[in-house]
Structure 1
Amino acid sequence: MKQSRTFIPTIREIPTEADIISHQLLLRAGFVRRHMNGVYSYLPLAHKVLRKIENIIREEMENIDAVELSMPSLQQMELLAETESGISDRSDLFMLTDRSDRKMALGLDQASIITKIVQDEIKSYKKLPLTLYQIATLFKDEKRPRFGLIRMREYMMTNAYSFHADQESLNEKYKDMMNAYSTVFTRLGLDVRTVIANGTGSAGNKSHKFMSLSEVGEATIAYSDASTYAALMEMAEVNANYVLPNDSLKAMEKIETPNQHTVEEISTFLDIAPSKIIKTLIFKVNDDFVAILMRGDHMINESKLKRALGTTAISLASEHEIKDVLSCEPGSIGPVKLPLDTKVYADHAVGFIVNGVSGANENGYHLMNVNPERDFAIDDYMDLRFIQEGDPSPDGIGVIKFAAGIDLGFVTDIGDDISGTMDASFLDEQGNANSFVMGSYGLGISRILAAIAEQYNDANGLKWPKQLAPYDIHLVTVNIEDETQKQLSEEMYHLLKSYRYAVLYDDRHERPGVKFADSDLIGLPIRITIGKKAQDGIVEVKLRSTGEIFEWQREEITEKLQPFFG
């Protein structure tokens, strides 16, 4: 393609609205343009990269017998009403009304539609398993669109759903999809970690995410510095090796602590380490009050608490409720002499506190030398805290470090959460009706484009990996007015195209500095420059990835390019 005939509107200055490197470079290099907050047009260069990403995804999906289809973006509210379809907040939906006053929504996911299709067409176990997927534009009324293509209101996504007769079949597909997605990211050349993630099912079904490490990531990943273990911070188990101090138990005593409420205040006031403080939190669980005990230097992980107690109906008790139950303020709560009907659950670390400090359930007072089991009973010990940097890795290899990550894809076992709600069933071998067992899978294509730009760049611009670059070669003519340079450029252009290389031929009437700056900004794998040595049949070849520069005779170019492109 001749650059004078295509559309690549580059920008010299960094756009003021772009605050991360991928957003800046994709705008400056003429790949995308902002239409409104969270909505972008993909210009010709981006369009080519997106098609390559899609083709890799399609190939790997076909390798695991997934079948592509297309589903509508407009969805009936009546169908969505049958199931939340994984949508926890309906405010994320774009709602509209047609001329007949029927309410509809723009697709945020396609679980309801695909389940309805399968429900209507698949009646027997003999047609299972079945995996269907689509590549489409989806919509989300994002509260805070930002970071360019990372958090959008209109975005490209691969959504897949699998339908099974039993859990064993789903488990096999789950593994297949994990492997397929891992292969996709390997082929894309992205540094991605497979992370243990939240289950979306009512029974805490397993789920994994694929995260690209990035300073602008909005999720925190806890990972081992010596193994492949990685999990979202709220999902990381704690296997700390606590040691019980060899101290003699002291008599408990009540002391006055006026206006001291927080762990930090009590720690400073009593000159003790936060790890010696027993923090008591009152939660309302299914309309009952329970006490949760944490070490003062640890933070409670409510996701773990919900899983441990097997319910999502959990909330912190209000100050008013605490005063009704304990007649004290939240900063004075302690585990000693709680109401008899109050269940008490403690994080494992609490069991290793000797002669600790807790609230006295009386405003302005705390208890010294409090000891679990001697001074108060605990119904059960659980893993209830957030993991911390430096903790042992849950797999026993290395220690935990934190990193920020961008969510690029997910694999989730949703069981019969959706099919059960929609009464979507099939007949088994005995003729009994069973709900489909389902898996849900997704890849954020727009985000993948941004993640590639985040990982492949330098101070001068983008550095596309060769398998994804919009063109293989940037052919730059230094002076298009020079007949010798122009003639050699035309010869090289047609020769390279005959060898099936995708060539962007810069035939513009621009200064050399502008052409070279644009070339580095766009970031194609190879730049072939035809300049003053054209009369000797010599061209300059630059590798964008390393910055290496060579001079080759025109007769040897195709031979020398072959090893690079394989």
Structure 2
Amino acid sequence: MKQSHLFVPTLRETPSEAGVRSHQLLVRAGYIRQIATGVYAYLPLAQRVIKKVTSVINEELDRIGANKMQMPNLLPMDYWQDETCRRMSSSSLFSVSDRMHRKYMLAPSHEKAFIELIKNEVQSYKRLPMKLYQVQMKYRDEKKPKFGLMYSREFLMTDFYSFHADSNQLSIAFSEFEASIKKILAAVGLTYHVVHGNDNRFGVESIKEIVVSCPFGDTQICLSNTGGYAANRDVAVSKYQGKKSHAVPLELEKIATKEIKSMESLAAFGEVPSSQIVKSYFFFIDHQPTLILIRGDHELNGEKVKKHFQDKVVSPATEEECRAYFATGFESIGPIHLPEGVRVIADYYVKDLVNMLCGGNEEGFHYKNANLNRDFTVAYFDDFHLVQDGEEAPDGEGVLHIEQGIKIGHFMTMSEKYSQSLSAYFVNENGKETPLRIGYCGLGVSRLLSLIVEQHCDDKKIQWPNRIAPFDAHIIPVDYQENNQQQLADEMMIAMEEAGYEVLLDDRKERVGVKFADADLIGCPIRITIGKKASEGIVEMKLHQSGDSIEVRKAELVATLAILNQTNE
């Protein structure tokens, strides 16, 4: 393709609204343009890359017997009334009405649509398993769209659903599509982590998340330095490493702390480390008032609390409820002299403490030198704290460290209870109505595009992996108007295209410096420069990623290109 025919509006300056490199480069290189806040046009270069990424996805999912289809973008609003399939606040929905005032939404998810389709069309075990997938746009009204395609309001996503007669079928499929996702991500050149995910959502039996390490990501993951354990920090666990203090218990002392508002100030005033302070969190567990105690230098993990009481209603108390029980606010509550009926449970690390500092259950007062069993009791201990850097991995192999990341997908299996709640049944070989077993995998394609750029770029250029680059090679005549250069460039483009390569030829009337700058931004794996030696049929071939270059004769071009492509993979 000649570049004069291609719409590639490159920019020399970094756009002010672009805060991360991928966003900056995709805009500067003419891949995307913002149409509205969080809404982007995918220009021809981006469309070419997406087409290649989608081709990789199609190839892998077709290989495991999945059927490609497409759901509508417009879905009935009553799909969202089903809490089982609701994953986000209704404030994230884009809603519309038709001329008859019927309510619809721009699809934030197609989960309900796929399940409704299958439960109506596949009613016998003879038609199972059934695997379906799509690559389709989704719409969510992000409160703060940012980082270009990373957090946009309209985004492209792959959905893969599998429907099975039993757990064994589902387990096999889960392993198959996990392997397929890994092959897809390897093919597009992405480095990532597969981590244990948050399975607190109703109906989720097991879940793994795909997270890309990224300093500006909104997800935290815990990784073992030996590589044996990886989990979303919301659900990460560590090996309990308690050390019982052998300090002599001191006399309980009530101290005034009215003007002290921070943990650091409280530790300094009480002359104790923050690890000797006990924080109290007030919850209602099935209406049972409950204090959960955490060491002062730890944070409460709300997801662990939900999982611990997964069959109960867990409600954090409000400030008003706290004052109604304790006659004081959250900052002064503690486990000593409790109101009647309040139960106390605690994180494992609290049982190691001696001479603790805790709330006094009186406005502006704390207790110093509080001790377990002497001054208060705990019903039981469990893991309620948020894992921190340096804690030991749960298997005892390695130390955990925390990284920021961006989630690009997940795969999960759903329970029978989930299918029952949606009346998703089939008739088994014994003629009995049985809940479908359902598996799901989602992969963000447009977000994937940005993250590939983040991992394959520097401040000045994109370096696309071979498999998904918009073109295999970029031919740049220094002066396309010069006869020898033009003839050689045209002949080379034809020869390369006949050999199956996709080629971009810069035939524009531009200075060579402008051409080179645009070529760096666009990021094709190989750049072919035609200059003074055009009359001899000699060109320079340069690998975009390494910067290595060689001179090649016209007759050797196609063979050399094949070798360089293998070297560049």
Structure 1 length as normaliser, TM-score? 0.96
Query: How far apart in 1 are the matches of 2:486 and 2:326?
Result: 87
> 2:176 aligns to what?
176
* Pairing 1:357–2:394 present: no
- Residue 279 of structure 1 aligns to a residue whose secondary structure is strand
Question: 3-state SS of the aligned residue for 2:163?
Answer: strand
Q: Evaluate the alpha carbon distance shift between residue 88 and residue 286 of structure 1 in structure 2; reply closer, same or farther with a 3 A threshold.
A: farther
Moved more, 545-554 or 513-522: 545-554
Give 3-state SS (helix, strand or coil) of 2:244's partner.
coil
Query: 8 Å contact 1:238–1:385 — kept in the other structure?
Result: no
Shift of 1:439: 1.8
State the SS of the aligned residue for 2:49. Answer: helix
Which structure 2 residues correspond to residues 70-149 of structure 1 after superposition, within 5 A? Answer: 70-149=70-149
Contact kept in structure 2, 1:261 and 1:332, CA below 8 Å: no
2:51 partner letter: R
State whether residues 262 and 331 of structure 1, in contact with CA within 8 Å, keep that contact through their aligned partners in structure 2.
Answer: no
1:200–1:188 Cα change, 3 Å: farther
Contact 2:223 2:400 in 1 (8 A): yes
Please give the secondary structure, in 2, of the residue aligned with 1:467: helix
Residue 21 of structure 2 is matched in structure 1 by 21
Separation in 2, partners of 1:9, 1:478? 20
User: 1:77, 1:104 within 8 Å by CA — same for their partners in 2?
Assistant: yes
Partners of 1:134 and 1:220 in 2: CA distance: 29
- Residue type of the alignment partner of 2:547: G
SS of the residue 1:476 aligns to: strand
Change (3 A) 1:354 1:236: same
1:20: Cα distance to partner?
A: 0.9
Counterpart in the other structure of 1:151 = 151
- Correspondence 1:218-233 to 2 at 5 A: 218-233=218-233
Gaps of 5+ in 1: none
Asked if the contact 1:226/1:399 (under 8 Å) is kept, the reply is yes
Q: 1:370 to 1:425 in 2, by over 3 A?
A: same
1:149 positional shift: 0.5
Instruction: Judge which range, 536-545 or 331-340, deviates more.
Output: 331-340
Q: Which residue of 1 aligns with 2:209?
A: 209
Give me the whole-angstrom Cα distance separating, in 2, the residues matched to 1:156 and 1:423.
Answer: 29
The question of whether the paired residues in 2 share the 8 Å contact of 1:334 and 1:361 is answered with yes
**Offset of residue 345 of structure 1:** 1.2
1:205 is paired with a residue of what secondary structure? Answer: strand
Given residue 366 of structure 2, which amino acid in structure 1 is its aligned partner? H
Q: Is the 8 A contact 2:203 2:414 kept in 1?
A: no
Q: Distance in 2 between matches of 1:260 and 1:7?
A: 62
* Offset of residue 293 of structure 1: 0.3
Maintained 8 Å contact 1:4/1:507: yes
Write the distance in 1 (CA, Å) between the matches of 2:347 and 2:372.
12
Alpha-carbon distance change, 395 to 544 in structure 1, aligned in 2, over 3 angstroms: farther
8 Å contact from structure 1 (residues 83, 418) kept in 2: no
Q: Could you say if the C-alpha distance between residues 204 and 371 of structure 1 is closer, same or farther in structure 2, counting changes exceeding 3 Å?
A: farther
Alpha-carbon distance in structure 2 between the residues aligned to 1:200 and 1:244 = 32
Shift in Å at residue 525 of structure 1?
0.3
Measure how far apart 1:364 and its partner are: 3.2
1:477, distance to aligned residue in structure 2 (A): 0.5
2:335 aligned residue: 335
Question: What amino acid maps onto 1:327 in structure 2?
Answer: A
Q: Which residue of structure 2 aligns with residue 377 of structure 1?
A: 377
Would the alpha carbon gap of residues 26 and 258 (structure 1) be closer, same or farther in structure 2, given more than 3 Å must change? Answer: closer
Task: State the alpha-carbon separation in 2 of the partners of residues 79 and 294 from structure 1.
Answer: 40
Give the equivalent residue in structure 2 for 1:197.
Answer: 197
How has the CA–CA distance of structure 1 residues 258 and 497 changed in structure 2, closer, same or farther, with 3 Å as cutoff?
closer
Aligned to 1:39: 39
The share of aligned pairs that are identical, in percent, is 37
Tell me which moved more, 365-374 or 55-64. Answer: 365-374
| Deviation for aligned residue 1:96 | 0.7
Matches of 1:17 and 1:441, distance apart in 2? 32
Asked if structure 2 preserves the Cα contact closer than 8 Å seen for 1:476 and 1:527, the reply is: yes
How far residue 192 of structure 1 moved from its aligned partner, in angstroms, is: 0.7
Cα separation, partners in 2 of 1:204 and 1:337, compared to 1, 3 Å: farther
- Cα offsets for 1:2-44 (capped at 9, x unmatched): 1111111111111111111111111111111111111111111
Question: Which blocks of at least 5 consecutive residues in structure 2 are unaligned?
Answer: none
Provide TM-score, normalisation by structure 2: 0.96
1:520 aligned partner: 520
Aligned to 1:347: 347
Q: CA contact under 8 A between 2:356 and 2:368: conserved in structure 1? A: yes
- What's 1:501 paired with? 501
Q: Would the alpha carbon gap of residues 271 and 95 (structure 1) be closer, same or farther in structure 2, given more than 3 Å must change?
A: same
| Count of paired positions | 566
Q: Which amino acid aligns with 2:471?
A: Y
- Cα distance in 1 for residues equivalent to 2:417 and 2:211: 25
How far residue 368 of structure 1 moved from its aligned partner, in angstroms, is 2.4
Q: More deviation in 111-120 or 395-404?
A: 395-404
**1:402 corresponds to 2:397:** no
Asked if structure 2 preserves the Cα contact closer than 8 Å seen for 1:86 and 1:200, the reply is no
1:65 paired residue number = 65
How far has the Cα of 1:53 moved from its partner?
A: 0.6
Provide the C-alpha distance between the structure 2 equivalents of 1:316 and 1:330, rounded to a whole number of angstroms.
11
The residue identity in structure 2 corresponding to 1:478 is: V
Deviation, 1:288, is: 2.4
Question: Which residue pairs with 1:307 in the alignment?
Answer: 307
Distance 1:258 1:490 in 2: 82
For the Cα contact (< 8 Å) 2:219–2:406, is it kept in 1? yes
Structure 1 equivalent of residue 48 of structure 2: 48
